Amino acid sequence: MAMLSVAPKSPDDERLGAFVDDFRRRVDSTPLGVCPLVVTLTALETAAGQTCGKCVPCRDGIPHLVELMRTLVDCDADASVVDEMRELSQLVRDTSDCAIGYHAADQLLAALDAFSAEVESHLERHACTAGIGQTVPCETGCPAHVNVPGYIALVAAGDNAGAVAMVRKDNPFPTACGLVCEHPCEAKCRRRLIDDAINIRGIKKYATDQAPADHVPVPRRSPDTGCRIAVVGGGPAGMTCAYFASLMGHRVTVFERRSKLGGMMRYGIPAYRFPRERLDEDLRAILSVGGIEVKYGAEIGTEEFEALRRDYDAVFVAIGAHTGRTLSIDNIDADGVIPAVQLLGDIGDGAEPDMTGKRVVVIGGGNVAMDCSRTALRAGAREVSIVYRRRQEDMTALQSEVLSAVAEGVEMVTLEAPAAIEVDDAGHCTALLTQPQMTGPIRNGRPSPVALDVPQHRIPADLILVAVGQDIVSGPFNAAGMPTNRNRFVADDALRVPDMPGVYAGGDCQTGPKTVIKAIGAGKVAARNIDEYLGYHHTLPFDIAVPAPHPNDRTPVGRVNIAERPARERRCDFAGVEIGMSAQEARQECARCLRCDVYGIGSAEGGRVQYE
Amino acid sequence: MSNSPKKKLVTLTIDGFQVTARPGMTVKAAAAKAGITIPTLCFLRGVSAIGSCRVCSVELEGHDGFITACNTPVADGMVIHTDTERVRTYRRNLLRIILADHGLDSTAYCFSCAKNGACQLQALCNAYGATEPAWRVEQERKPILESNPFLAYDPNLCIRCQRCVGACNTQARNHTLHTAKRGMRTTIEAPFGPDWKATTCESCGCCAAACPTGAIVEKRRRTYRSWETRRVRTTCPHCAVGCQYDLVVRNNRIVDVDAAPGQTNDRRLCVKGRSASFDFVDAPDRLRTPLVRNPTTHELEPASWDEALDAVAEGLGRVKREYGPDALAGFACSRSTNEDIYLFEKMVRCAFGTNNVDNCARI
With CB atoms and an 8 Å threshold, state whether A550 touches B75.
yes
If asked whether residues B22 and B64 sit together in one domain, one would say yes
Q: How confident is the model at residue A612 (pLDDT cuts 50, 70, 90)?
A: low
With CB atoms and an 8 Å threshold, state whether A599 touches B51.
yes
**Rounded to a whole number, what is the distance in Å from the CA of A605 to chain B's nearest CA?**
7
What CATH number did the domain enclosing B194 receive? 3.30.70.20
By DSSP bridging, strand B357-359 and strand A292-295 are: unpaired
If asked whether residues B32 and B114 sit together in one domain, one would say no
- pLDDT tens digits, residue range A576-599? 999 989 999 999 999 999 999 999
Asked if B18 is an interface residue toward chain A (Cβ–Cβ < 8 A), one would say: no
- What confidence score (pLDDT) does residue B1 get? 42
CATH architecture of A329-470: 3-Layer(bba) Sandwich (3.50)
Contact B100, B208 (CB under 8 A): no
Residue A89 has pLDDT above 70, yes or no: yes
Cβ partners under 8 Å of residue A593, min gap 6:
A149, A152, A153, A156, A191, A198
**Rounded to a whole number, what is the distance in Å from the CA of B271 to chain A's nearest CA?**
23
> Domain count of chain B?
4
- pLDDT tens digits, residue range B27-50? 999 999 999 999 999 999 999 999
Asked if A35 is an interface residue toward chain B (Cβ–Cβ < 8 A), one would say: yes
Q: Where are the domains of chain A?
A: 36-124, 137-217+547-603, 228-322+472-533, 329-470
Domain of B78? 10-83
- Residue B94, domain member (yes or no): no
With CB atoms and an 8 Å threshold, state whether B1 touches A555.
no
- pLDDT tens digits, residue range A128-160? 998 899 999 999 999 999 999 999 999 999 999
Residue A176 has pLDDT above 90, yes or no: yes
Q: Which of B25, B48, B83 is the last residue of a domain?
A: B83
Mean per-residue pLDDT for B287-299?
92
Asked if A497 is an interface residue toward chain B (Cβ–Cβ < 8 A), one would say: no
Asked if A162 is an interface residue toward chain B (Cβ–Cβ < 8 A), one would say: yes
With CB atoms and an 8 Å threshold, state whether A33 touches B178.
no
- Residue B95, domain member (yes or no): no
Nearest residue of chain B to residue A554 (CA atoms): B64
Q: Which of B20, B48, B83 is the last residue of a domain?
A: B83
Q: How confident is the model at residue B107 (pLDDT cuts 50, 70, 90)?
A: low
Contacts of B71 in chain A (CB under 8 A): 598, 603
- What confidence score (pLDDT) does residue A1 get? 66
Asked if B72 is an interface residue toward chain A (Cβ–Cβ < 8 A), one would say: yes
Asked if A154 is an interface residue toward chain B (Cβ–Cβ < 8 A), one would say: yes
Asked if A216 is an interface residue toward chain B (Cβ–Cβ < 8 A), one would say: yes
Question: If DSSP states are collapsed to H, E and C, what string results for A89-151?
Answer: HHHHHHHCCCHHHHHHHHHHHHHHHHCHHHHHHHHHCCCCCCCCCCCCHHHHHCCCCCCHHHH
DSSP B19-70: EEE-TT-BHHHHHHHTTPPPP-SS-BTTTB----S-TTEEEETT-SSEEETT
For the purposes of burial, counting CB atoms within 10 Å of the CB of B69, is it exposed (0-12), middle (13-18) or buried (19 or more)?
A: buried
Asked if A612 is an interface residue toward chain B (Cβ–Cβ < 8 A), one would say: no
Residue A572 has pLDDT above 80, yes or no: yes
For residue B170, the one-letter residue type is T
- Residue B264, domain member (yes or no): yes
Asked if A602 is an interface residue toward chain B (Cβ–Cβ < 8 A), one would say: no
If asked whether residues B138 and B190 sit together in one domain, one would say yes
If asked whether residues B124 and B208 sit together in one domain, one would say yes
Q: Give the A:B interface size as CB pairs under 8 Å.
A: 72
Residue A117 has pLDDT above 60, yes or no: yes
With CB atoms and an 8 Å threshold, state whether A549 touches B73.
yes
More confident site: B332 or B239: B332
Residue A37 has pLDDT above 90, yes or no: yes
Q: How confident is the model at residue B65 (pLDDT cuts 50, 70, 90)?
A: confident
By Cβ distance, the residue of B72, B165, B185 closest to A551 is B72
If asked whether residues B219 and B232 sit together in one domain, one would say no
The closest alpha carbon to A235, from A612, A542, A517, A544, belongs to A517
Nearest residue of chain A to residue B168 (CA atoms): A605
Nearest residue of chain A to residue B170 (CA atoms): A605
If asked whether residues B302 and B280 sit together in one domain, one would say no
**Rounded to a whole number, what is the distance in Å from the CA of A266 to chain B's nearest CA?**
30
Asked if A15 is an interface residue toward chain B (Cβ–Cβ < 8 A), one would say: no
Residue B3 has pLDDT above 70, yes or no: no
Place domain A228-322+472-533 in its CATH homologous superfamily: FAD/NAD(P)-binding domain (3.50.50.60)
Asked if B182 is an interface residue toward chain A (Cβ–Cβ < 8 A), one would say: yes
Asked if B290 is an interface residue toward chain A (Cβ–Cβ < 8 A), one would say: no
Q: Do domains A137-217+547-603 and A329-470 have the same CATH topology?
A: no
**Rounded to a whole number, what is the distance in Å from the CA of A34 to chain B's nearest CA?**
8
Asked if B62 is an interface residue toward chain A (Cβ–Cβ < 8 A), one would say: no
The closest alpha carbon to A133, from B28, B295, B178, belongs to B178
- pLDDT tens digits, residue range A489-517? 999 999 999 999 999 999 999 999 999 99
Residue A27 has pLDDT above 50, yes or no: yes
Nearest residue of chain B to residue A607 (CA atoms): B50
What CATH number did the domain enclosing B52 receive? 3.10.20.740
The closest alpha carbon to A173, from A315, A290, A284, belongs to A284
For residue A360, the one-letter residue type is V
With CB atoms and an 8 Å threshold, state whether A603 touches B183.
no
For residue B72, the one-letter residue type is T
- Residue B91, domain member (yes or no): no
For residue A217, the one-letter residue type is P
What CATH number did the domain enclosing B231 receive? 2.20.25.90
Rounded Cα gap, residues B195 and A336, in angstroms: 73
By Cβ distance, the residue of B2, B60, B166 closest to A161 is B2
Alpha helices per DSSP H over B154-288? 163-166, 206-210, 271-275
Q: What is the percent of chain B with per-residue pLDDT over 70, rounded to a whole number?
A: 96
- pLDDT tens digits, residue range B327-351? 999 999 877 878 888 999 999 999 9
Burial A76-115 (b: 16+ CB within 10 A, else e): ebeeebbeebeebbeebbeebeeebbbbbbbbbbebbeeb
If asked whether residues B215 and B150 sit together in one domain, one would say yes
- What confidence score (pLDDT) does residue B186 get? 81
Asked if A551 is an interface residue toward chain B (Cβ–Cβ < 8 A), one would say: yes
CA distances from B262 to A356, A581, B48, B133, B316 (A): 81, 52, 19, 38, 39
If asked whether residues B48 and B77 sit together in one domain, one would say yes
The DSSP call for residue B210 is H
- What confidence score (pLDDT) does residue A284 get? 98
Residue B314 has pLDDT above 70, yes or no: yes
- What confidence score (pLDDT) does residue A87 get? 96
- Residue B4, domain member (yes or no): no
With CB atoms and an 8 Å threshold, state whether B5 touches A216.
no
If asked whether residues B132 and B168 sit together in one domain, one would say yes
Asked if A353 is an interface residue toward chain B (Cβ–Cβ < 8 A), one would say: no
Q: Which of B223, B256, B275 is the last residue of a domain?
A: B223
- What confidence score (pLDDT) does residue B2 get? 44
Contact A319, A242 (CB under 8 A): no
If asked whether residues B75 and B38 sit together in one domain, one would say yes
Choose the mutation target among A603, A608, A612 for the interface with B, i.e. most B CBs under 10 Å.
A603
If asked whether residues B116 and B155 sit together in one domain, one would say yes
- pLDDT tens digits, residue range A311-365? 999 999 999 999 999 999 999 999 999 999 999 999 999 898 999 999 999 999 9
With CB atoms and an 8 Å threshold, state whether B3 touches A606.
no
- pLDDT tens digits, residue range B140-185? 788 999 999 999 999 999 999 999 999 999 999 988 998 877 777 7
Is the Cα torsion angle A386, A388, A390, A396 positive or negative in sign?
A: negative
The closest alpha carbon to B272, from B215, B223, B205, belongs to B205
Asked if A215 is an interface residue toward chain B (Cβ–Cβ < 8 A), one would say: no
Residue B80 has pLDDT above 50, yes or no: yes
Instruction: CATH number for A137-217+547-603: choose from 1.10.238, 1.10.1740, 2.60.40, 1.10.1060.
Output: 1.10.1060
- pLDDT tens digits, residue range A299-314? 999 999 999 999 999 9
Asked if A74 is an interface residue toward chain B (Cβ–Cβ < 8 A), one would say: yes
Rounded Cα gap, residues A593 and A582, in angstroms: 17
- Residue B89, domain member (yes or no): no
Mean per-residue pLDDT for A563-573?
94
- pLDDT tens digits, residue range A182-224? 999 999 999 999 999 999 999 999 999 999 999 999 999 999 9
Residue A165 has pLDDT above 90, yes or no: yes
Choose the mutation target among A164, A605, A608 for the interface with B, i.e. most B CBs under 10 Å.
A605
Q: How confident is the model at residue B6 (pLDDT cuts 50, 70, 90)?
A: low
If asked whether residues B167 and B113 sit together in one domain, one would say yes
Nearest residue of chain B to residue A162 (CA atoms): B1
Nearest residue of chain B to residue A70 (CA atoms): B185
Asked if B193 is an interface residue toward chain A (Cβ–Cβ < 8 A), one would say: no
- What confidence score (pLDDT) does residue B361 get? 73
CATH class of A36-124: mainly alpha
Asked if A451 is an interface residue toward chain B (Cβ–Cβ < 8 A), one would say: no
Q: A26-40, A264-278, B205-219, B335-349: which has the minimum mean pLDDT? A: B335-349
Contacts of A128 in chain B (CB under 8 A): 180-182
**Rounded to a whole number, what is the distance in Å from the CA of B131 to chain A's nearest CA?**
29
